[in-house]
Amino acid sequence: MTILSSTALVIFVRNPVLGQVKTRLAKDIGNERALAIYLQLLQHTLEITRDLSFRKFIYYADEVSDYDLWSVPGYTKRKQNGNDLGERMLNSFKELFEQGFTRIVIIGSDCLQLQTEHLQEAVALLESNVAVMGPASDGGYYLLGLTKLYSDLFINKPWSTDQVFAKTIDDFNNQGISFALLEELSDIDDITDLGENGILF
């Protein structure tokens, strides 16, 4: 397979249901405004990934929607499988590596600053590194790319805390995994992130 056809982009999403998305944000701005922002994030994610030549997989946290934003050519829909975020990411990587993909990049749908160029850079960096990661300003990461599966990266992590990025870097160093970093970006998780992303509320 060529580099493009052997590369998979995984996008983790939630169905945009009132009261079930951006719940931390909703505590400050209400469910309706939080849903509107999440819809904006989904649209942005579609726009920056639509023209990429990689295989693209939408992994839903809940049920797979037959007719939604992602019902366009170029996106394959699947369901996340696992008890926490780490297990769900691990299973998606495992599934796609077993299908023969040699470069897999995973992102969420929370980063308005993420651009097509970041995704292209991540894949390019995987030509000379085993891993690539995009650090988020809250101490997590907005992107992880691998050319080989390392289960420890997804196990015993304090998800949704400011320790995730640092502990993943520790794993890279402890296991001798060569890695590269993208620029730091800001996810949108709570009200303080809105101003950083130029969103009025």
What architecture is the 7-195 domain classified under in CATH?
Alpha-Beta Complex (3.90)
Cβ atoms of 118 and 132 within 8 Å: the answer is no
Q: Which of 170, 126, 124, 177 is nearest to 150 (CA)?
A: 177
- Walk along the chain (201 residues) and give the pLDDT tens digit of each residue: 455 679 999 999 999 888 888 788 878 888 888 889 899 999 999 999 999 999 999 999 999 988 899 999 999 999 999 999 999 999 999 999 999 999 999 999 999 999 999 999 999 999 999 999 999 998 999 999 999 999 999 999 999 889 999 999 999 999 999 999 999 999 877 666 665 555 544
Structure tokens, 61: 């946290």
What is this structure's pTM?
A: 0.93
Domain boundaries, the chain: 7-195
**Coil, strand or helix at 52:** coil
Bridge partner residues of 77 (DSSP): 58
Cβ atoms of 132 and 125 within 8 Å: the answer is yes
